[in-house]
Each structure stands twice: as C-alpha cells, then as structure tokens.
Structure 1
Amino acid sequence: MEPLREIERAPRTPWGDFPDALIHQTSIPTVQRHPKYRAAKDGDIASAVQLVDDTLNPVLVDRIVAELRGRSAILVPVFAEEAYGVNRIPMVMAEALEAHLQGRASINVTADIVQANRAGHTGASGWTRIAHPTLFDGPIEKGSAYVIVDDFIGQGGTIANLKGYIESHGGEVILATTLTGQAYSAKLVSVETTLAALRAKHGKELEDWWRSTFGYGFERLTESEARYLTRAEDADIIRNRLAQARRQANP
C-alpha cells in the first residue's frame, strides 16, 4: 500500500435535511458545447454572460424563491482558477440570479469568499477530486443564510467543502444551485442504504482511517462520493488510488 501524502483538511458539517442541488441544465453538453463555454471557463466575462443568459432555467429560478421561504440569503459563487484564468461562470450566474430574483426575494451576492487552493478538478478523475479537496477563505456573516452557486456539480465535494467552511464559521447554507451536472448528482446527502453498503464492503478500519485522514466520517460524504468508494474493490485500492492521485499532482 502506498503512503498517502498529507491531505489538506476541508471542514465538513452534518447534512441534516439539506435539499437536493438545483441543476439548471442536466444535459451537460447543452452547457459544455455552447460556443462561449470555453472562453467563459477561462475567465472571459462577456462569454460567461452569454452562456448564462442562454442556459439559466427560469423554472429553477422559481424553485429558488420557493426554497428560500421568505428568508434573505447571500449568494456565494465558487471561485476557481482554471488552466488559463479564473472561472467567471459562477459569479456571472450568481449576478444573473440576483437580477432575476429582484423584488421576489431578499438576495445579494458576495465576492469575498474565495477558493484558497488550486484543486484542479476540471476534467479530473474522482480519485483526484477526493485527494485534492477544495479549500476556502474569506469572511462569513454569522447567522446569515447562504446559497452556493457553481457552474458544475460532479461528485459534489466542492459544494460540501464550501458548505462546511461557511457553517464552521457561523453561517448557514440552505441551498446549492449549479448551471449543469448529471441529474443523479443533485442528491448531496448520502442515504443510509449507500452508507450501509460502503461500511459493509470496506469495514470500520477504512472509516477510521478516513476520519483520521480527512477529518470526518462517511456520513459527511456526498451520495456520489459514497457510491464511488463503494464501487472500489477493497480498502487498499481506495488508499492506493488516493495516494497515486496525490503523488501525480505533487511529484
């Protein structure tokens, strides 16, 4: 078994009854084959505006209003540095949502919470995503409600980590919304049957190792993360794949 290089710990908080993420386009090609997508992903604001205007789903804008239940909230976009620039899509999406919700909900956008590391998740494997958790920094308004906004949801780890950061500093995350992602990725809270299968297959020893390595137990995984780990043949493969992912990024 390969030794695992030290992993930066991202705080995670209990899921409770956290709702499914609202995904505006569950057909990923609708977004990723848009002529403005690549430029938007690499930081071009005008391209991001065009992309968001063409793909934001008005039905889900109504759903956001319903989920807020009259509460005021802060929209927090995920800032991520990509290969050729900072991904502007989440910020543009948050600003578009703020405009659409004007007069219907008490919403404002913050640009103060930023990604504190370059995780390199775009196009990465599930092992790489888990081995290199996204970390965040920035001021949190204690007692305030937050809605996370991102351009893509895969395993949901970035959302889980940002939720953990906000809530460990006194805020409350009540919802997450993304421009695109597979429909099954919307389920963030790991369900009991999935957790039972994960624990039955890989045993208590792996969960103890996971807790000492990442700082949380399996119950704070996303549903997609838990299912991904369950598909691995055994616990040693999980540890080896994570170690390889760490080594490849930090030779």
Structure 2
Amino acid sequence: MDEQEAIRAARQIIDEIHDERIFDLIGEYVRFGRTTKVLAPIKIPGVNTNALSMVYAQATANIFGYEVEDRVFQITSEKRDRKIDPMLRLALPPVFAGEIEAGADYILIDDVFTTGGTLAGLRGYVHRHGGNVIVCSTLAAGTRVTREATRYDKRQMGVALAPTNARVRDLRNALGDEYHAVDSVFCEGLKYGLQQLTEQEARFVSNQARTIRTCGESVSDWFAGKILAARSPEI
C-alpha cells in the first residue's frame, strides 16, 4: 500500500470510528490567543508514515484552524515497533528529535493508546524544550486501558495517562521495601524513575512485582535483567 492509499484508508477508518464530541472536549483545553500546534508522533519520512495519526492530527488542526507541526519526529526503534510485550516497550522508550517552539501550546495526537509510553515520551520532549502540552487525544485505547471504564462516555471521552493516586499507592505496596531499589534501576537504565510511569506502565510493574515476590526473587534484579535483555542486539 502506497502513502496515498494508506491515507485514504486512514480517513475511512476515522470516519467510521471517530466520535465528533471529542473535538468539543479538546476545545475545553484550548487557550485562545496563544500559538497552538497539533503534534503527532510521526516517524521519520520514508520509514513509516503512521497514516492514522497523520490524518487524525490534520483533522484536529482543521477543526481549530491550527497547523500540524511537521518538524518533530519519532526516531524509530524496530525492536519496539514490532513488539507488544509491555516489558519490551517499557525498556525501550521512544526517542524524539526536532524543533519545539518555546512557549507554544501543543495538542498531542496518536492512533492507539496502549501503555501510554509514546504520548508520555512526546509530552516530556515538548516540555523539556519549552513547549506546553494542553491535551492529548487518541482514536482508540486498548482493552487494558478501558477495562475499568464501564460507562460508554468514560470509555470514549477519557482514560488516565498519569497514574492515579490509587495506582501510586498500589505500586508502593507491591514493591514494598524494594521501591527505592527498583526506582534506582529505572533511573539508571531508562533515565526516568517510577514517578514518571504512566497509569498502564505502573499497573504492569505492580503486577510483575507481586508475581516476582511470590517466586521469592528480587524485584530490582528482575527488572534490571529485563531492561538489559531488551536492549541486547539479539532481540
């Protein structure tokens, strides 16, 4: 499928599944009178067009009269893109490059919310370079994300990216006296700590920690080994 065919297919998918009320919700976060851009985690041109994100970003920009930022790219990681294993995706956070306009507001757009790592990484990149992320929106979310959202409106209109207070407590309880050791492993291996995990990533770490503890193993050693293995050339 060439690029134009991919874009046409993406438009058809968006027309079929998108709820127009999302634009009303996005509009509640817009700060009029400020420079605002729409940004999607687009891969480097010629590598992966990510048509769904591109088309959704352009549709959002058209609604509000903004521009799609085309100077920021996600540097592809073939190992990460081809895997759905949450540990591998956690151990290989996305890397971004390109120019962010300091002081500008950004609406982040993506196709599917799974663990939230891509959006969280892009948000961090924007903030580190002086921009402001005002809202994030995706076309769909995985079943793990929406499992606890039983009402239709909640499934359609918002799920948690940052960990809830309950999730933070659960993570601390699951790690127990190894909390700081695991945090150090993450800071050393991933360059960010447990406080920067998304809701779904924190859920995964909590569940894994309980399983590891049941087996009598060290949680920090397990995560250190998994991070090292994920980055090895053999995978």
Answer yes or no: same fold by TM over 0.5.
Answer: yes
Once residues 229 and 41 of structure 1 are traced to their aligned partners in structure 2, the CA distance between those partners, rounded to angstroms, is 38
Q: Which amino acid aligns with 1:114?
A: F
For structure 1, the 5+ residue unaligned runs are: 1-38
Cα offset, 1:112, TM superposition: 1.0
Label 1:43 to 1:245 Cα distance change in 2 as closer, same or farther (>3 A). farther
> Map of 1:94-243 to 2, 5 A cutoff?
94-102=57-65, 107-119=66-78, 120-121=80-81, 123-182=83-142, 184=145, 186-202=159-175, 203=178, 204-232=180-208, 233-234=211-212, 235=219, 236-243=221-228
1:187 and 1:230, CA in 2 relative to 1: closer, same or farther beyond 3 A?
same
Q: Distance in 2 between matches of 1:177 and 1:113?
A: 17
**Structure 2 CA distance for partners of 1:213 and 1:74, relative to 1, 3 Å:** same
- What is the percentage of aligned positions where both structures have the same residue? 26
Contact kept? 1:147, 1:175, Cα under 8 Å: yes
> Following the alignment from structure 2 to structure 1, what is the Cα–Cα distance between the partners of residues 3 and 109?
15
Q: Is the CA contact (8 Å cut-off) linking 1:41 and 1:48 kept in structure 2?
A: no
The whole-number CA distance in structure 2 between the counterparts of 1:68 and 1:179 is: 19
**Aligned partners of 2:83 and 2:141: how far apart in 1?**
13
Which AA in structure 1 matches 2:16?
D
> Which one is further off, 230-239 or 183-192?
183-192
1:75, 1:93 → 2: CA distance? 10
Task: Report matched runs for 1:13-162 at 5 Å.
Answer: 44-70=6-32, 71-80=34-43, 85-102=48-65, 107-119=66-78, 120-121=80-81, 123-162=83-122
Scaled by the length of structure 1, the TM-score of the pair is 0.73
Measure, in 2, the Cα distance between the counterparts of 1:243 and 1:224: 21
* Aligned-partner Cα distance in 1 for 2:205–2:3: 29
Change (3 A) 1:76 1:244: same
Instruction: Give, in angstroms, the shift of residue 44 of structure 1.
Output: 1.5
| Aligned length in residues | 207
Distance 2:116 2:141 in 1: 10
CA RMSD of aligned residues (A): 2.6
Q: What is the rounded CA distance, in whole Å, between the counterparts of 1:194 and 1:218 in structure 2?
A: 12
> Aligned partners of 2:108 and 2:115: how far apart in 1?
15
Is the contact between residue 40 and residue 51 of structure 1 (CA under 8 Å) also seen in structure 2? no
Per the TM alignment, residue 246 of structure 1 is displaced from its structure 2 partner at its CA by: 2.6
1:141 Cα deviation from its structure 2 partner: 0.4
- Is the 1:43–1:87 contact (alpha carbons within 8 Å) kept by the matching residues of 2? no
Assess if the C-alpha contact under 8 Å between 1:40 and 1:47 holds in 2.
no
Q: Give 1:195's aligned amino acid.
A: V
In structure 2, stretches of 5+ residues that fail to align are 147-158, 213-218
- 2:99 counterpart SS class: coil
Match for 1:226: what amino acid?
A: A
Aligned to 2:152: none
CA gap 1:78/1:40 in 2 versus in 1, 3 angstroms: farther
**Partner of residue 9, structure 1:** none
- Which of the pair has the greater relative contact order for Cα pairs under 8 Å at 6+ separation? 1
| Letter aligned with residue 72 of structure 2 | I
Asked if the contact 2:91–2:190 (Cα under 8 Å) also holds between the matched residues in 1, the reply is no
Q: CA deviation at 1:169?
A: 0.6
Q: Which structure dedicates a bigger proportion of its chain to helix?
A: 2
Match of 1:20 in 2: none
Conserved 8 A contact 2:93-2:190: no
Alignment partners' CA distance in 2, 1:47 and 1:227: 34
User: Does the 8 A contact of 2:112 with 2:142 survive in 1?
Assistant: no
Cα deviation for residue 145 of structure 1 reads 0.6
| Aligned CA distance change for structure 1 residues 98 and 140 (closer, same or farther; 3 Å) | same
Q: For residues 164 and 28 of structure 2, what CA distance do their matches in structure 1 show? A: 24
